[in-house]
Amino acid sequence: MGQIIFILIASLTGYFSFKQYRKIYKNIMLGKSINRSGEGSTRWQNVLLVAFGQKKMFKNWIPAIFHLFIYVAFLFTQVELLEIIIDGVFGVHRFFAPFLGGLYTFIISSIEVLSFLALIATFVFLYRRNLLKVPRLVKSELNGWPKLDANMILIGELLLVTGIFTMNGADSVLQSIDPSHFPDTGKLAISAWLGPAMFGGLEPESLMLVERFGWWLHLVVVLGFISYLPYSKHLHIFLAFPNVYFSNLKSRGEMENMPEIMNEVKSMLGIESEVSPSTETELPEFGAKDIFELSWANILNAYTCTECGRCSAVCPAHLTGKKLSPRKIMMDIRDRATEVGNNIASGDLKYAKTKDNTDIKTLTAANYDDGKSLFDYISREELHACTTCNACVEACPVMIDPLEPILKMRRYEILTESAGPADWTPMFTAMENGGAVWQMPVEREAWRAEV
């Protein structure tokens, strides 16, 4: 019966989780196509150093050390999770113990030590977030669900560690009582003394009940965690690796080129364009109004965001009281992508661009229009406050680029809508007339004629 229940729960979790992760993949691919291939060696180096090695985390070394405890414990506990899955499917107990011997003792002892360090780190993070109230962790964009989400994951970590030590502790006592059914694991680093201290006086039936409770608690927390991740900022546990791999490798000072503008400038300067002029009568749209004009890499960035706030903590606009928060920008893009994805998945034709056209049978990204855009999430005041200094890009521990979507939205506002702050207009006029940001009586290049 236990095997049947295990397989049923695991199968339902796998099915449900697959649907949710597939939905996120579809949401990410709502963005425009962009080529992020090439320079494979550099990309894999970034994955090893930044994603696996946590390199950028150590710019702030105190939280980085505690985060490393949880991260390494998470990686190592997958070995014990693999054994739990094998035990659950085949109805055995401690499958690897008889085969690995002393190596098994070393592996499980290492997991216990790391789990204890992760336990300490969890309490530290709960303290920093709820009692110490580190400024970047209590900003307004984290009110409500984001704050609850962070605390729920930390509480889940407490339950996970509790399950490990309950299972191992009771098992260590049972090994001396019924060695034929409970294989010898050797003296584990913590459970060897914690088990007898906590459970030494219990009857065998009670011990087996406690051991099974710890086993199921560990499993249920892990399966719940897998199912919950698509709704959590902790999705970065999976997405950090592809996000780092597909990150922009160009110089941070190099902005994305706009071919239409470049060709126009070349024409004004008498330089032959490499691209033939467009024959379209409609003016092109520049920048991004909604997620469909962002790239899939921008949306992947948004779903990878850890909401740690390191970007906002170094943003000069944010630090001087401006409304801009790079973290909020990424959270807003993720929320908008999720909203659009859910609406398209619903198939409701009220979201179609031509609602009166009876020929439309299926709602797709190409005919989607709910009357909203990213500008309903991100205010123009936030966009105007950005100084394009790239401090947020440098600070992000998983190589997210909040600046790129900010620039795309500003380009849409200024070039497509012909809008923007009134005090920017003289600068644009001066650049158009004189080639300089300051208003000058002569063109910027006039001195060359004298030379």
51 secondary structure, DSSP code:
I
Task: Determine, yes or no, domain membership for 25.
Answer: yes
Dump pLDDT digits (tens) for 187-244. Answer: 999 999 999 999 988 999 999 999 999 999 999 999 999 999 999 999 999 999 999 9
Domain end call among 245, 265, 299: 245
Structural domain includes residue 274: no
In whole angstroms, give the CA distance from residue 224 to residue 109: 25
Q: Which of 188, 214, 245 is the last residue of a domain?
A: 245
Same domain, 202 and 289: no
CA angle 124, 130, 136 (to 5 degrees): 90
Confidence of residue 277 (pLDDT cuts 50, 70, 90): low
Say if 20 falls within a structural domain.
yes
pLDDT score recorded for residue 358 = 60
Beta bridge partners of 368: 352
- Give the range of the structural domain holding residue 140, as residue numbers without chain letter: 2-245
- Give me the pLDDT at residue 261, please: 79
Residue 134 token pair:
């580190």
pLDDT, tens only, 341-367: 999 999 999 999 875 556 778 899 999
CA torsion 367→371→372→376, rounded to 10°? 160
* Residues 373 and 290 reside in one and the same domain: yes
Do 234 and 294 sit in the same domain of this protein?
A: no
Q: Are 68 and 118 in contact (CB under 8 A)?
A: no
User: Could you tell me if 213 and 353 lie in one domain?
Assistant: no
Domain check: are 170 and 293 in the same one? no
Domain presence at residue 265: no
Q: Is residue 318 part of a domain?
A: yes
- 282 compared with 398, residue with greater pLDDT: 398
Same domain for 240 and 334: no
Q: How far apart are CA 299 and CA 27, in angstroms?
A: 8
Q: Are 35 and 178 within one domain?
A: yes
Q: Could you tell me if 80 and 198 lie in one domain?
A: yes
pLDDT at 355: 58
Q: What share of the chain is helix, strand, coil (3-state, %, to 5)?
A: 65, 0, 35
- 450 within some domain: no
pLDDT of residue 276: 59
Residues 116 and 36 in one domain: yes
Do residues 331 and 203 share a domain? no
Contact 191, 168 (CB under 8 A): yes
What is the domain count for the chain?
Answer: 2
Contacts of 165 (CB under 8 A, 6+ apart): 112, 115, 190, 191, 194, 214
30 in a domain, yes or no?
yes
Last residue of a domain, one of 220, 245, 270: 245
Assess whether 199 and 310 both reside in one domain.
Answer: no
Tell whether 161 and 63 lie within a shared domain.
yes
Look up the CATH number of the domain holding residue 355: 1.10.1060
What is the distance, to the nearest Å, from the Cα of residue 26 to the centroid of all Cα atoms in its chain? 16
pLDDT attached to residue 274: 65
223 within domain boundaries: yes
